[in-house]
Structure 1
Amino acid sequence: MPNISDNEPDSTPESSPASPLGDWGAMPAPRAGADQAEQEEAGSAANADARGVPPQGPDSTQTAVFPPVTAGDTQVMPPVAPGQDADAEGAGAGAGDAGAADGAATDDAEADDAAVNNADESRRNSLGVWSVVTGALLLFPVAIVLGHLGLRANKRGEANNRPVALAGVILGYVGLAAAIAGVAIALFVVSPNMAAQDDDNAAKVDVINIGSAAVAQSSASDQLPEVTTVDGGYAVGDTSLPAELEVPGTVTLDGSSASDWCLVLSYEGGNDSAVAYSSTSGLVDGATCS
């Protein structure tokens, strides 16, 4: 009878050939479904550990802060603990306050510099002001000098009122020109007219004096008196009279009787050139008695 055991297959598993990696070389076969998801999560955690980043998950309370990427290798900041956010905000606020204080100090320094510059630019503004004042007081040469000094100070940055200094210079030159014109008019127009008027007035005084002396002598002698000019004056009969007229003149006496005559004094340099005196009416307007 045949042996049944000889026909039955051997149920003892055959041993697999030995792996050259030993026990590490035998990798379990991946499982489908949940086993594969667990392996992917484990791989992600391993990569995160390699980069120094804590695992992120729904139960994680830590936050990873990444600074900007620099030109070198990417740097990863260590995790920030929950209490460090407030410290960072406080440090930022302190830095902001310090920046604001520095800005205020800078503004104050700039304001001080501006004040100093303004003081330097205005320390000689008085030159222009005094130029206008002296010009208004008719001190025109002084106004011109001070105005030019003020313009020079503006050019050097020592003053900042150039329009005022320029106004003083203009006022000085205009006033000086007006003063010179006034003097010229007085010398060449007004003065000759005044001199001529003075000669006319002096001639009238002389003819009145001569006529009065002639009336007295003609009444006393009932004759026409003799009237002539002498050095420094006039002679009426035996009476000498001083001359008020400073220019040369001549005297003529014409009449028909001792009570009817006309005295004429002619001279040069006056506006009228002659004055007359009548025995009946006295001083006559014009060069004749008629």
Structure 2
Amino acid sequence: MVTRSALLSLGGLLALAPSVLSPVEWGPAPLTVDSLPRVALTAHRGGALEVPENSMSGLAAAYGRGTAQVLDFDTRMLRDGTLVVLHDPTLDRTTYASGPVDRIDARQWAAVRLRPRASLPGRWRSERLPTVAQVLDRFGGRTVLMLEAKDPRSLGGLSGMIHRRGLTRSVFVNSNDPAVALRAHQLGLTAQLWRSEEQMRTDRPARWARFVDLLDVDYRARDADLVRAVRSGIPRVWAHTVNTPRQRDRVLRLGCDGVISDAPGLLARTPSGAGAPVSAG
């Protein structure tokens, strides 16, 4: 599991300037999923209880703090096909604008401004929201990324962007739909599939082992459902959205090898008491 000292060491490395970090620590090639520790911590939407979700400032803060090895964000497609970073189908909750995201174009997107939640720790300013290209260009290869393709029609465009940047093993492409995960795999991407507590009651995840690289499971699922996922043969099984040490320790004991959290800073500075994981043998 990730120890506190290891995380602090990683945080020190990530505080280095990118020009130093890339050639010295990671070598000339991009950082890939194969470089992740045995138990990985993901900043969900950048760490939505600690930073403004899906914002460039939030992702940059999570990266700079070094408390998570993976940065997660959501993607939507505008009317003109531009791929942008946003969770909801509308602008209302997280910005000063309103209306459906898919009814605006890139020019209008550039005028949208983030509305930081008052409950967030620290002081955050309004800012422009990023496009997917901007996030890939800033963080791609410097850390592992996880993106959820909210619009399945965008998968071809996302694939092209990831392939052109040489990031096919550096970016998890996430969906709740097994058919989309299969398509991502067929496109040469690193496929991730997330499942809800309710879905996990009837799922047979071993059926997806040939094309899913990461199974993203709901921490609220029953013990038996989590263990079935761990024993599915899928290489990585991570739990979402884990925001307390107690939740984390339970899923690690049941055999998960990663957590996705809105509070990565809290989890990183709280030692785990999970003990030995459940055997998958």
Normalising by structure 1, we get a TM-score of: 0.17
Larger radius of gyration: 1
Quick check: which one's helix share is greater? Answer: 1
